[in-house]
Amino acid sequence: MRFAIPLFVVLFLLAAIALSTGDEPPRLAPPHALGAPAPDLGGAAVQTPQQGVPVALDPPPSPAPAVPPFAAAPAGQRPYVPILMYHYVRSVDAAADPLGYGLSVTPAQFAAQLDWLRRSGYDTVQMSALAACIRGESPCPARAVALTFDDGYMDAYTDALPLLQQYGDTATFYIVSGFVGHDAYMGWDEIRALRDAGMEIGAHSISHIDLTTLSYYENVDQIARSGSEIAAEIGAPVRSFCYPAGQFNADIAKITSDAGYTSATTTIQEGPQDDLFALPRIRVYGDMSQDGFQATIAAYLP
């Protein structure tokens, strides 16, 4: 005996099946917890809770690497490249401003240092070139140092740049994007002049705050947006970052890497160059003698 199924029952069953197989709405990922590993940002834009403005994490595409202007080390060798940390190139009264004196070298000191580097056969390299060498993407310099300048003070343009050009050297200048144009700091015109002279421009956060005191999203803002702002102003990618006051941790290093930078420097005085986001630097003090400078470099590169 056959049973007839009413038409309305068939329609009801078909509708139920269609609803059960429909796409579910996407689930929102839980917010990142402080102290936990930072999520993979994947180059996407991030909404910062403070400003509510998307922060572009990817810098402009990098051009093909140029042939390095230094003497390359033998294939398979990666000599240590000392990274020197400068702040000011100026004359300061040690008694009137002991802190400023410690952060400064005079133009005469800087000229003597560059002259000795050249006469001793050392090349100077930018941080992006050093990072490419460490990653194995380009030849490594056989005998070189990297010169870095923090904060973006005006004397980088008025005093450091002419001497670098005179001795045929290059350097990386880390800019605090929120300080540009303030008293004693370079404006965008001066920073673009550094770029046009062949210098590398890096980022040093927006406000030079201790990043270890901030939330995850505040760090994304300080790290990623500073590079984006600088890149937009100078018309060139920003690949190198410097932690303000050298303060960082594993989460901050990952945010920096996810933001598209290729390296980050610290204020750690000594250490290996295996971690591109914890690179140590050698501070050049105002009271460092020429003999002391030469001995410091020779200790790394005899």
Spatial distance between the Cα atoms of 172 and 151, rounded to a whole number of angstroms: 11
Spatial distance between the Cα atoms of 270 and 157, rounded to a whole number of angstroms: 29
Query: What's the pLDDT at 70?
Result: 57
Helices then strands, counting H and E runs in the chain, come out as 11, 12
On the question of pLDDT at 147 being above 70, the answer is yes
The domain ranges of the chain are 80-300
Query: What's the pLDDT at 73?
Result: 54
Query: What's the pLDDT at 225?
Result: 98
Of residues 127 and 3, the one with the higher pLDDT is 127
Query: What's the pLDDT at 141?
Result: 79
Of 12-16, 34-38, 57-61, give the range with the top mean pLDDT: 12-16
Give the pLDDT band (50/70/90) at residue 71.
low
Mean of pLDDT over the chain: 81
Query: What's the pLDDT at 195?
Result: 98
Q: What percent of the chain stands above pLDDT 70?
A: 74
SS3 of residue 150 by DSSP: strand
On the question of pLDDT at 2 being above 70, the answer is no
Q: Which range among 60-64, 220-224, 258-262 shows the weakest confidence by mean pLDDT? A: 60-64
Give the pLDDT band (50/70/90) at residue 300.
confident
Residues 23-55 pLDDT 10s: 333 332 222 222 333 333 333 333 333 333 333
Query: What's the pLDDT at 11?
Result: 46
Residues 269-295 pLDDT 10s: 888 898 999 999 999 999 999 999 999
Spatial distance between the Cα atoms of 193 and 177, rounded to a whole number of angstroms: 16
Residues 229-271 pLDDT 10s: 999 999 999 999 999 999 999 999 999 999 999 999 999 988 8
CATH fold of 80-300: TIM Barrel (3.20.20)
Going by C-alpha positions, the residue among 182, 267, 265, 187 that lies closest to residue 230 is: 187
SS3 of residue 160 by DSSP: helix
Query: What's the pLDDT at 78?
Result: 64
Query: What's the pLDDT at 51?
Result: 36
On the question of pLDDT at 72 being above 70, the answer is no
Spatial distance between the Cα atoms of 184 and 180, rounded to a whole number of angstroms: 9
Spatial distance between the Cα atoms of 260 and 239, rounded to a whole number of angstroms: 7
Cβ distance 169 to 117 under 8 Å?
yes
Find the length of the chain.
302
Which class for 275: exposed (0-12), middle (13-18), buried (19 or more C-beta within 10 A)?
middle
Give the pLDDT band (50/70/90) at residue 76.
low
Cβ distance 8 to 16 under 8 Å?
no
CA 41 vs CA 25, 37, 38, 256: distances in Å: 21, 12, 8, 11
Query: What's the pLDDT at 77?
Result: 54
CA 82 to chain CA centroid, nearest Å: 17
